[in-house]
Chain A
Amino acid sequence: MIALRQFSRILKYMLLLEFRVRDALTLLLSLSIMFAVIAGFGITSASLEPRVRERLFPALLWLCFMVNAAVALGRSFEYESEHKVLDGLLLAGVPPAVLFFAKATVNILVLCAGQVAGVTVLGMLLGASLVPHFGLFSAVSLLVIVGYSALATIVAALTAGARLRNVLLPLILLPLLFPLFFCAIELTTLILEQGILPLSSQWLSLLAGLTVVYVALGATLFEFAVGD
């Protein structure tokens, strides 16, 4: 119960901080637009058939998400690193797992905002729409974002004090996350082409399994990432 209260209080202040500083959404929107413009130009200049464009869209969408997320989460521990506030919270008796869940929740919300920006911008500029499949795509996106945030939160904690941390974070994180992206791309393709998301799909099972594993690993290993 105390842990739950501590989680809700810390989450409140972390969200207050994100809302006050408001740099995340601007970053994500700008990156999405830049990515969509370059991808759109490349596709147009290659004179791809509409069918091929449609098949490419899921990969481009998740590539855009990957770029957005790596940049957005690269700054995620900057507020904590500035004055070593995590040390203070740990000394105040907050369990490391509570800090992990609070930080991961903030990252999930930031990435959801980024995904909305990315899907909207790419859909408009590349002529593809996920609106008819909003429910199914949201479910898949949420699972991917939760798994991504869990892993990214702990890796960001590992690189928070490192040199070249903004470059180091994506280089270290991405090899660990490719299975998640394979699932995301396959399931998005399935949704776009057939408009369904069968519960028996192996990709869906793998995605759900990965999300659970990453959350469990993150919560367990976070104390080693922030402590000594």
Chain B
Amino acid sequence: MESLSTAEKGTSASPPAPDRLARSLPQLEALAILLVAALIFYLLYLVFMAVPNERVMGAVQRIFYFHVGSAIACYCSIGAVLIGSLAYLGTRRRVFDCISEAGAEVGLLLSTMVMLSGMIWARPIWNTWFHWEPRLVSFLLLWMIFLALALLRRFGEPEKIPQHCAVLGVLGAITVPIVVFSIRLLPQIAQLHPQVIENRGLRDPLFVEAWAVGTIAMVCLQFLLVYMRTRIGMVQVRLMELR
């Protein structure tokens, strides 16, 4: 028989994890959940019991501790979408599609939280729900990108959803830094959004601690949610293969 050039191999769900890791996985997951829960409870304690009221804005300023961390976690989510999408297009392994899908869902959730918490803060402070200023507009567009990913996942051509969503994931992730950069070129849009970190505005050590714990907690929560959603996605893939 003439030797044949290999054209394509099939790819299914990822092979089972090495035995030792697989056995200790439930304990590791439980530990991760407990750690994140502890961080969040500590954050809640700091925000509602420990930190003093901000002098100018009052109680509504406390949103800051959830808002900033969620915003950073959103950027982590779009990173997960980009990595998952590129890896899926390169290897066609479903686990990467699941990571991309999880990143997009969690990103949509977190960006909605950022927008809502921002609006709740903006109403008493700026007397408006929304203002056309760089950070808010770039976050609105980030939210719309996550929404676009969710829409394609929901309504796309059924057999091609994983690779189509991977393509859109790459396009969307590349758009994010472009949007952030281009918005900042607009000189006539005033920078209304508080530049707290850049201007070293956190004077009280408790403020700094609450901000740090808030950021770490939200980012860890994001990773945990992406991980759990990826596991659910993989179970769904396995179920389909067994049918």
Contact = CB atoms under 8 A, between A and B. Distances in A.
Give yes or no for direct A-B contact (beta carbon below 8 Å).
Answer: yes
Interface in A144-184: 151, 154-155, 158-164, 168, 171-172, 174-176, 178-179, 182-183
Interface string A217-228: 100010011011
Given A162-B156, A175-B148, A228-B160, A203 B185 contact: yes
Interface in A54-94: none
B185 A168 contact: no
B155 A168 contact: yes
Given A159-B152, A161-B160, A217-B171, A175 B141 contact: yes
A168 B151 contact: yes
Contacts of A158: 152, 156, 164, 167-168
B178 A179 contact: yes
A17 interface: no
20 contacts: A160-B157, A161-B157, A162-B157, A164-B155, A168-B155, A171-B148, A171-B151, A172-B152, A174-B144, A175-B141, A176-B148, A176-B172, A179-B178, A182-B182, A202-B185, A217-B171, A224-B163, A224-B166, A225-B164, A227-B163
A116 interface: no
Given A158-B152, A186-B185, A213-B174, 7 more contacts: A155-B171, A158-B168, A159-B156, A162-B152, A171-B151, A172-B152, A182-B183
Given A172-B152, A175-B141, A206-B182, A225 B175 contact: no
Contact of B145 (A151, A162, A175): A175
Nearest to B165: A158
B113 interface: no
Given A176-B145, A203-B185, A163 B155 contact: yes
Most buried by B among A168, A176, A203: A176
Contacts of B167: 154, 158, 221, 224-225
Interface string B132-151: 00000000010011011001
B72 interface: no
A160 B152 CA distance: 11
A217 B166 CA distance: 13
Contacts of A186: 185-186
B175 A176 contact: yes
A210 interface: yes
Most buried by B among A151, A155, A158, A202: A158
Nearest to A160: B157
A210 B178 contact: yes
Contacts of A154: 167, 171
B208 interface: no
The 5 closest A-B pairs by CB, nearest first: A161-B157, A175-B144, A179-B182, A172-B148, A158-B164
A172 B168 CA distance: 9
B170 interface: yes
Given A158-B168, A224-B166, A175 B185 contact: no
Most buried by B among A162, A163, A206, A228: A162
